Amino acid sequence: MPGSGKEEFIRVAKEKGYSVVRMGDVVREWVKKKELDMDDGSVGGFAHSEREKHHYGIWAERTLKKIQVQKTIIDGLRGDEELEIFRKKLGHDLVVVAVYASPKTRYNRLVARARQDAPGSYTEFKERDRRELRWGLGEVIALADHTIVNEGSLEEFRVKADRLLEDL
C-alpha cells in the first residue's frame, strides 16, 4: 500500500544489485503521452480507466516490456490479474514481497513526504486505499510469498529487507 516502505525496500535491493521497474512509472509515461494532469487523482483515474477499457492486467503487460534482466524488482503490483500475468511470464522466478505498515503509519509518512501526489486529508488517503484495494491489492498482499512488517525504525526495516533479499 502507498507509504508502506516499498521505496526503502527498493533502495536496499538496488544496493544488492537489483534493477527496478516501477509500474507507476509505466502509468505516468502513458499519462504524459495523453497530456493529462500528473496529480494523483488523474494518474490513478487514468490507470483505472485503462484497466476497465482493456482488462485489469493491462499494466502488467505494459510493464513486462520494461524488464531486461533477471534480477529485477517490479514495484507497484496492484491486483490478482496482474499477478497472474507476471506468474505466467516469469514462472517460479517470480517472488512476491508485501511490505506492510498500518494505515496511520502510512498516512503520516505520505503527508511528511509532501510529494505532489500526497493526500490532502485522511479522507482522501482512505479513498486512495479503497481504489487500490478494489483492484485486488489486498489479495496480492494476502498471497505474497513474503511479508515484511514496517512499523519500527528505518534501520530495523533495512535489516529485514537485507535479510530477505539475501535469502532470495
- Domain count along the chain: 1
Reported confidence tier of residue 99, pLDDT bands at 50, 70, 90 = very high
Mean pLDDT of 81-86: 93
Domain harbouring 84, CATH code: 3.40.50.300
Helix (H) or strand (E) holding 158: helix 154-167
Compute and round to an integer the Cα radius of gyration of the chain.
Answer: 16
Asked if residue 149 belongs to a domain, the reply is yes
Q: Each residue of 143-160: pLDDT tens digit? A: 999 999 999 999 999 999
Other Cβ atoms closer than 10 A to 114: 7
Residue 145 maps to a domain = yes
Domain-embedded: residue 157: yes
Q: Name which of 20-29, 35-44, 52-61 the model is least confident about.
A: 35-44
Residue 41: domain span: 6-167
State pLDDT tens for residues 3-22: 999 999 999 999 999 999 99
Does the pLDDT value for residue 116 go beyond 80? Answer: no
- Whether residue 122 has pLDDT greater than 90: yes
Q: Is 34 helix (H, G, I), strand (E, B) or coil?
A: coil
Residue at 1 is within a domain: no
